[in-house]
Amino acid sequence: MSLRSEKELRHLVAENVISEDTSKAISDYYASQKKNSPNKLFTLFGVLGGLLIGLGVILILAHNWDDFSRGVKTIWAFAPLVVGQAFAGFALWKKKGPAWKETAAAFLFFAIGASISLVSQIYNIPGSMSSFLLTWILLAAPMVYLLRSHTATLLHLIFATAYACNVGYFNDASPWGYLVLLVWVLPLYYSQLKSHSEANITGIYHWAFGLSVIITLGAFVSGAANFGYVLYILLFGILYNLGKLPFFDHKKVRVNGYLVLGTLGMIYLLMVASFKWIWNERYFKTGDTIDLVFAGALVLITLGILFNLYRKRRLVPFNVFQYVSLLFVLIYAIGHFRTDISIILVNVLTLLLGVSAVRTGAQQGRYGMLNFGMLIITILIACRFFDTQISFVVRGLLFVGIGVGFFVANYLMYKKQIRLKNE
């Protein structure tokens, strides 16, 4: 229990708000809680130490000590592996706490990499970066469940993402292996959601999974010009709607990575798509078969989540953010016939989002939401300055207007809250 809380308790006892006994009961409760919770700081430093040592070993081995014979180098290839395995085995056998397991997992993860990279180095084994990464990830994958290690899980996710980028972006193939690697950690994520939904690490998982799929989606598709916008906005729409599921909806914004990533992604893409040059016919293509398959799958997932939300009566009150991705697909389809109409519709849709955020913010008394809406409108107007022929005077007036709007909206809300408080 913190010093400040103890001071508060003494104050409450002195003011006769709570009795001496209650104060003691509260102190005892917090003391027992502290005893049960593992030392998080210790775990964190252990993991950091493990990561740094592991990475250091890889770099030292990468120097390539060509004075040593093949035999000596081979021993060095296995030494970090043995140390890591011994640590992990000891932690498992003695049923050590998370600090041990996480540290061992962090070190063993990099020891595996060090071992196979040194063998590749000794024998000049060619092998591409992607096959090297895949071997490494697969050899480390069992740690996720055996050690029940969050470090191993996050490293698995990070390296799987790096693998997908290497295959998809640098080598122009589809990284299907990534999907398998992703599915491998899903059961752990699910059990984490079930039993430790409020833990900090679960919040980190939401962000990590969200970021990983955002980064890798582009690696699967052909990158045929404009169709990428459709795929990405569908993905952001899915993330947003996931964040709106009852399970996530009541959570703090910083924990609800899906909602934040989805919102920011959608707004960013709409801003980009609100420019005229994006809709140039030269870049306007439907995409390859794989792109269409992905688009179809993403639409189905969107509809599935929306249906789920509908059944749980989560679609009222109407929230336009939840339908942005589907509306954008429609706008994109219209663009095949009339790009000018699509451009107008994208601008209208973005404006609508801004207004709706302002409205929600005002109704629910949330300053953050209100100003987020205002920000969307401001950025949209600022963007229009680059590709429309409006006189400087009008642009100036628009900016003054929006500035006044910021003040007025915040002031009105402040007044409203004061009024509500007084009632």
Partner 1 sequence: MNKLVVIFGFLVMVGAQWFVPANMIYQQEGALVEGTPYKFKTRPVDPSDPFRGKYIVLNYELSSFAPVDSTLQFNEYVYVYIEEGEDGFAKATEVSPYPLDTEQDFVKAEYQYSYNQRVNFNLPFDRFYMEESKARPAEDAVRDVNRNRDSLSPVCYALVYVKEDVAVLENVFIGETSIQEFVEGLEE
**Between residues 109 and 279, which has the closer beta carbon with respect to partner 1?**
109
> What is the spatial distance between Cα 231 and Cα 234, in angstroms, rounded to a whole number?
5
Interface segment toward partner 1; rule CB under 8 A; list 38-46, 143-151, 234-242, 329-337: 143-151
Q: Please, are residues 351 and 380 in contact by the beta-carbon 8 Å criterion? A: yes
Q: Which of 27, 121, 339, 356 binds partner 1 (CB under 8 A)?
A: 121
**Between residues 111 and 370, which has the closer beta carbon with respect to partner 1?**
111
Interface segment toward partner 1; rule CB under 8 A; list 59-67, 171-179, 286-294, 348-356: 59-67
- Rounded to the nearest whole angstrom, what is the least distance from the CB of residue 106 to partner 1 in the complex? 15
Question: Is residue 169 a contact point for partner 1 (CB under 8 A)?
Answer: no
Question: Is residue 195 a contact point for partner 1 (CB under 8 A)?
Answer: no
Question: Is residue 129 a contact point for partner 1 (CB under 8 A)?
Answer: yes
Question: Is residue 145 a contact point for partner 1 (CB under 8 A)?
Answer: yes
- Rounded to the nearest whole angstrom, what is the least distance from the CB of residue 279 to partner 1 in the complex? 38
**Between residues 121 and 339, which has the closer beta carbon with respect to partner 1?**
121
Q: Which of 2, 36, 37, 124 binds partner 1 (CB under 8 A)?
A: 124
**Between residues 23 and 135, which has the closer beta carbon with respect to partner 1?**
135
**Between residues 53 and 380, which has the closer beta carbon with respect to partner 1?**
53
**Between residues 148 and 366, which has the closer beta carbon with respect to partner 1?**
148
Question: Is residue 146 a contact point for partner 1 (CB under 8 A)?
Answer: yes
Question: Is residue 143 a contact point for partner 1 (CB under 8 A)?
Answer: yes
Q: Which of 23, 27, 120, 339 binds partner 1 (CB under 8 A)?
A: 120
Query: Which residues in 18-30 are b (16+ Cβ under 10 Å) and which e?
Result: eeeeebeebeeee
Question: Is residue 173 a contact point for partner 1 (CB under 8 A)?
Answer: no
* Residue that the structure tokens 């000590």 belong to: 65
Largest CA distance in the chain: 85
Residues contacting residue 274 through CB under 8 Å, at least 6 positions apart: 343, 346, 347, 350, 380, 383, 384
Residues contacting residue 238 through CB under 8 Å, at least 6 positions apart: 262, 298, 301, 302, 305, 325
How many residues form the binding site for partner 1 (CB under 8 A)?
Answer: 38
**Between residues 122 and 213, which has the closer beta carbon with respect to partner 1?**
122
Q: Which of 26, 79, 116, 352 binds partner 1 (CB under 8 A)?
A: 116
- Rounded to the nearest whole angstrom, what is the least distance from the CB of residue 289 to partner 1 in the complex? 21
Query: For residue 4, which amino acid is it?
Result: R
x/- map, 69-108, partner 1, by CB under 8 A? -----x--xx--x---x--xx--xx---------------
Question: Is residue 357 a contact point for partner 1 (CB under 8 A)?
Answer: no
Question: Is residue 381 a contact point for partner 1 (CB under 8 A)?
Answer: no
**Between residues 73 and 244, which has the closer beta carbon with respect to partner 1?**
73
Chain residues that interact with partner 1, rule: CB under 8 A: 58, 61-66, 74, 77-78, 81, 85, 88-89, 92-93, 112-113, 115-126, 129, 132, 135, 139, 142-143, 145-146
